[in-house]
Amino acid sequence: MHTVIIGNGISGTTAARFIRKWSDHPVTLISSESPYFFSRTALMYVYMGHLRQKDTQPYPPDFWKKNRIHLIQAHVTSLDIAHKLLQLDNGQSLAYDKLVVATGSVSNFFNWPGQELKGVRGLYSLQDLEYIETYSKELTHAVVVGGGLIGIELAEMFHSRNIQVTFLVREKSYWDHVLAPEESAMVNRHIRENGIDLQTETSLKAILDDGKGQVKAVLTDTGETIPCGFVGITAGVRPNIDWLKTSPLEIERGILVDAFLQTNIPDVYAIGDCAQLRQPQPGRQAIEAVWYTGRMMGETLAYNICKGPLAYNPGVWFNSAKFFHLEYQVYGQVPASLPPDQDTLYWEHPDGKKSIRINFDKSSQAVTGFQTMGIRFRQEVCEKWLANRTPLDEVLPKLALANFDPEFYRRYETQVVQLYNHRFHKNLPLQSPRNILDKVLQFLKN
């Protein structure tokens, strides 16, 4: 049974690895982007000179041969469902028994006038990075459009090369449809502290031509013209499925899949950024374009193919990011605006660079989400509290168990508990055990 996987990103690669782990079926992994799987999330570090491209490859080149995962570097141009055949851009065709579509995303472009000019590009692929690299040599000013996670990374990249950055964000405050106002404000401050010209409530209207097909400036909806040599478009991503639109696969925004990651066509599956769940779990999105879900889908699918039906269950939501030097972690649901049945406990350090937020249910007191800035929390501990719907009164005294900051770091659980006691007129104690790791592991086991 030959499984062919289109896309060697995290989801496709994870599927291939686990299929190999659990079976002897032949596996073929196709990608046009790069011969070997690399970490897309590390693209920025390659640009900034922290890493070389090969350092972003989690497995050495001989790994694939050793594990009998057949690699093809080519672009799949069309899909013949009836004959179970793929057409490649190198003229060859490839037969499959099971097909996994893991083609990831592409950058959104919203038909701005001038978006086809030279010096306008998104950041998603290796080729994008190379393109940006060639433009960086002479660059003095760049505009980044769109305030998401990739936009801020692009801003940081340019900043590291001392290229002036104007960062256009449509929202009132950076990423404020995801972050609560306090955290969003904190990130705003940090962006500006780094010398980035952050312009909120500003959208791109048009990109101006210098007469030679090259970008020379952007025009914003506030009427301003900002001269620049490069425009980075980071207004989100969408599933990379345009080439499948004419195929019998059912597609909405992404390829529709059921709980077992199966499409409407037998033996064809979709995972990762390009897959859209028909029935996402409560509180979850139909498309979650993040690393972690891609990995979980890949593993779940391999299980389905090799061992038997297993519904995709991403568990408790989590995510993390780094805004310049500001680390961010979230576990559970911490929406930008609080639902009426929930309350939030938010503590912020006076330096404005660290915070801890715990959301909880007003009636049952059960914790519903943890979000930290500048402080690391332990996923397994938070996950357990969230899964068990543990009341806040029980969580807070043990908050030290959740801390994951390096040794010798200052700890702030006392302040959080004090804040809580003060606000709710309670008298919760704080346990500060000495051998924390032992306590954590005991807690996780029970």
Partner 1 sequence: MRSPHTLQKTIGTFAVITGLALFTASLGLNSFSLREKSLQTHLNNDYHYEMVAPFAISMLDKTYSNSLTFNRDLHQVLKQGQEAIRQDLEQNKGLGPSDETYWSMVMQDYVVRSVKLPITREAAQGFLSDHAGMTGGLALILVLLGSFLLYFPIWKQLPGIDNTGVFSSPLKSRGWSGILLGSYLILFYLILYFYPQHLVNWMIIVDPISYRLNNGPASQWFLYGLLYTFVILVMGLRMILKYRHNAYQIWRTASVMFFQTCFAFILPQLLAWLNQPAPDLKNIWPLDYSFFFDYRLDEMLQSGTFGLFLLFWGIALTLIGVPVFTYFFGKRWYCSWVCGCGGLAETMGDPFRHLSDKSLRAWQVERWLIHLVLIFAVVMTIAVVYTYLPKQGSGLTRSVFFSISSAVLLFAMGFVWFLNKKIKAAIPRRALLIGTFTGFAIIGIGTWGIMAEKEYLFWVQDYQLRSWYGFYVGSVFAGLVGTGFYPLMGNRVWCRFGCPLAAYLGLVQRISSKFRITVNGSQCISCGNCSTYCEMGIDVRSYAQKGQDIVRSSCVGCGICAAVCPRGVLKLENGSHDVYQRTQQTRAIHISETEVTLLN
Which residues contact ligand FAD (rule: CB under 6 A)?
6-12, 30-33, 40-41, 43, 75-76, 102-105, 123-125, 149-150, 153, 240, 243, 272-273, 289-292, 294, 321
> What residue 6 binds from partner 1, ligand FAD, none (CB within 5 to 8 A, per partner kind)?
ligand FAD
Q: Quote the DSSP letter at residue 251.
A: B
Q: Any idea which residue has 């990831």 for tokens? A: 104
263/302 Cα distance (integer angstroms) = 15
Give the nearer residue to partner 1 in terms of CB position, either 29 or 94.
29
Contact between 78 and 243 under an 8 Å Cβ cutoff? The reply is yes
Residues 6 or more apart in contact with residue 119 via CB below 8 angstroms: 135, 214, 215, 229, 230, 231
Listed ranges 101-109, 244-252, 273-281, 296-304: which one lies at the site for partner 1 (CB under 8 A): 296-304
Residue numbers 404-423 binding partner 1 by CB under 8 A: 404-410
DSSP H helical segments within 111-221, as ranges?
Answer: 126-136, 149-160, 181-193
Is 441 among the residues that bind partner 1 (CB under 8 A)? yes
If DSSP codes are grouped into helix, strand and coil, which group holds residue 42? helix
Is 260 among the residues that bind partner 1 (CB under 8 A)? no
* CB of 181 vs ligand FAD, minimal distance in Å: 23
* CB of 387 vs partner 1, minimal distance in Å: 7
47/444 Cα distance (integer angstroms) = 40
- Listing DSSP states for 189-246 in one string gives HHHHHTT-EEETT--EEEEEE-SSSBEEEEEETTS-EEE-SEEEE-S-EEES-GGGTT
Give the nearer residue to partner 1 in terms of CB position, either 75 or 161.
161
* CB of 39 vs partner 1, minimal distance in Å: 4
Contact between 308 and 282 under an 8 Å Cβ cutoff? The reply is no
* CB of 26 vs ligand FAD, minimal distance in Å: 18
Is 370 among the residues that bind partner 1 (CB under 8 A)? no
Q: Quote the DSSP letter at residue 405.
A: P
Give the nearer residue to ligand FAD in terms of CB position, either 87 or 264.
87
Is 390 among the residues that bind partner 1 (CB under 8 A)? no
Is 186 among the residues that bind partner 1 (CB under 8 A)? no
Contact between 210 and 218 under an 8 Å Cβ cutoff? The reply is no
Q: Quote the DSSP letter at residue 426.
A: -
Q: Other CB atoms closer than 10 Å to residue 212's CB: what's the count? A: 8
Listed ranges 208-216, 277-285, 287-295, 360-368: which one lies at the site for partner 1 (CB under 8 A): 287-295
Q: Other CB atoms closer than 10 Å to residue 196's CB: what's the count? A: 21
> What residue 30 binds from ligand FAD, partner 1, none (CB within 5 to 8 A, per partner kind)?
ligand FAD
> What residue 104 binds from partner 1, ligand FAD, none (CB within 5 to 8 A, per partner kind)?
ligand FAD
Phi, psi of 149 (to 5 degrees): -70, -35
* CB of 304 vs partner 1, minimal distance in Å: 13
Q: Applying CB under 8 A, which residues contact partner 1?
A: 10, 14, 39, 41-42, 45, 48-52, 55-58, 60, 139-140, 160-164, 193-194, 291-292, 295-296, 299, 303, 313, 315-316, 318, 320-322, 324-325, 327, 329, 376, 378-380, 383-384, 387, 404-410, 435-438, 440-442, 444-445
